[in-house]
Structures are given as structure tokens and as C-alpha cells.
Amino acid sequence: MDYQRVMTELHQGKLAPVYYLQGSEKYLIDQFLKQLFNTLEKDQALDIMQIDLEEESIQSVIDEANMFSFFADQRIIIVDNASFLANQSPLKLNKTEEKNLSEYISSPNSATVVVFLSRQDQIDRRRKLSQLFTKQTLLVDVTPLDERQVDRFVREYLRSSEIKLGKHALDELLIRVNYQLSLAMIELEKLHTFALSGQELSVENVRQLVPRSLETDVFELSTAVSQGKVNQAIQIYQDLLLMKNEPIALHALLVSQFRLILQVKLLKERGMMPGQMAEYLSVHPYRVKLAYQTSQRKTLPALLALYDDFAEIDYQMKMGIGQAENHFYLLLTKIVSS
């Protein structure tokens, strides 16, 4: 079920006996649990139990769910690492466990609310157990949001918040947290302290208060590389190495950034405008805007050649050919001399 709809129902006091939260977005999971606890706490004391399926069996969950509380009208059982419906799950249920679990969710204890936290972003919907969960429980989507969804979510949050953040300041915040919702909400909590004066926070305020993410630095690095700004590129790269980032990991992020620049260039050749590109690629418009500006400085053949160079370096790194960090300097030399 849609996350916002589930949250609305919880706010209205409508509870399901079994929830299965599919996904790994921590902020959405935390907000769901907070709303669930608030809903039950209005009328009674809470009786909450947590079970980790990496340490205990699914049978212990079923046994506890069938019990009644001595302290409250309803119990809440939070079942963590319940990845048994996932495509690549390390947690396997035997036939007896599947049978017992199927029987429970088909006829759950009305005095217990069971919340399964899968922390996996996909489930195998072909399996009978998955189909039964889809039919008999509330499957709640808490998978990570894409960049445009994060933007909408944060804007909606700001409408009811005391924080005044202009468009450019919000863009700067999202870039710095790499469009990760959980990080964005953590940083907004920090900004809240500085927003009590009622003044709108500026881009400079965000830059002073919100630390840069690795992805932000890599985007600046890719921009410097594509523009042939050798000294700036070397400085950023060396700073990233000093922060204990592995050359292979940095290269993978660089390839990802250049892929976006190349995609934007190709879509421009097809006549697409930046707004259409953002929707087509499911990428935030501000990132597309930056990639668009960078792509303007090089021809399509030059970008394709550069991307081929990245692919060759990727192969050499994975094969252990040469010193990993030296490949970047060789690439810069090639760009400058071309």
C-alpha cells in the first residue's frame, strides 16, 4: 500500500494486525513506527516486543503473536531482518515454518500488531508466501525514494515546518546529502535551530551548516575533469584520498557522474529540454541542470571518447594493472593533451 495512505490510516486510528515493510529507507521506517506507537499510546500503555530473525526463529514470532498482554489491550511485535520474502534473502524458511506463518497471517491474533521489517528493497512476488502476504497483510513500500520524490517529500515537509528555505538553498541541501531522504531530514533538524529567528536560510547558511557528501565532491571532481581544470581536479582527488576513500570506489562514482553527463548530452541531441530529461531519467532537475551545463563544454564524440577511457581504466583497476591512484593522473594527462 502507498506509504502516505498507510500513515493517514494510522493517524485515524485504523490498525492492521500484520504489516510488512518492504524497503530500506530508514526515515520512512522510523516515522511509521513513531506513528504506530503514538496511535496506540493515546488509549493505553504500550507493550512492545522486538525480535531479530537473525537471532531467533520465525516460530518464536508466531508463538509471541498468539499470546495476550497482561499490561495492554494490544501488543506490538517488531520483527527485524524479516527478509524471507526478498529475492536474494539469506533467511530461508523451511516448509513447516512457511505453513505456520501462512496460517497465522490468514487468521492473526486481533490483540497483536505484528510489524515485519524486511530492510530489503525487493520481494519475490512469484512465491506463494509473497502472494499470501500481499493478500492478507498490509505491504508498505519504504524503498528509497528517487531524487524527484525526495525533493517533493522535503518540500511538503517544509510547508508545515518553521524552516524557511529558498529554492537555491534547498537545491544545495539536496546536493550535499546526495538526495538521500534520511540524511536530508537529519540535516533539516540541525537547520531548525538556526531557523527560529524566522529568517529564510540562504545557500551560504546551508554551505556552512551542512557537510558535503562524497558524491558532492565527486561531482565537482567530474566537472573539473571534463573542463580540463587539472590543478583543481588533482586537489579534489588528493583531498578525497586523504579522507581514506579508495581509488576504485572514487572511480566508480566518477563513472556514474560521467554517465549522467553523457546521457544528458545524448538526450539534448534528440531535442529534449532539461525538464524532460529529469523526468525521463528520474533525476532531480538541479542535477540535470549541472550535468547539462557541463555537457555544453564538450562535443558528443569527445564525451564518448572520455567515457571509453573511464571504461578502460575501470577494467585495468579491477584486473590489478598498475597503481590504482595513478590511473586518475594518467587520465588527466590524456585529457589535457587531447
- E-strand stretches of 156-249: none
**Which parts of the chain register pLDDT below 70?**
42-45, 196-197, 335-338
Distances 284 to 131, 224, 225, 254 between C-alpha atoms, Å: 34, 21, 22, 18
pLDDT value at residue 2: 84
In the chain the domains, ranked by start, together with CATH numbers, are 3-141 (3.40.50.300), 147-209 (1.10.8), 214-337 (1.20.272.10)
| Spatial contact of 289 and 223, defined as CB atoms under 8 Å apart | no
pLDDT value at residue 57: 94
CA-CA distance, 255 to 309, in Å (whole number)? 10
Provide φ and ψ at 20, rounded to 5°. Answer: -125, 110
Distances 289 to 85, 147, 253, 265 between C-alpha atoms, Å: 39, 14, 19, 11
CA-CA distance, 167 to 170, in Å (whole number)? 5
pLDDT value at residue 337: 63
Among candidates 323, 330, 292, which has minimal Cα distance to 309?
Answer: 330
The predicted-structure confidence for 249-276, as pLDDT tens digits, reads as follows 888 888 888 889 999 999 999 999 988 9
CA-CA distance, 85 to 116, in Å (whole number)? 11
User: In a 3-state reduction of DSSP, which class is residue 119?
Assistant: coil
pLDDT value at residue 56: 94
pLDDT value at residue 196: 66
CA-CA distance, 336 to 338, in Å (whole number)? 6
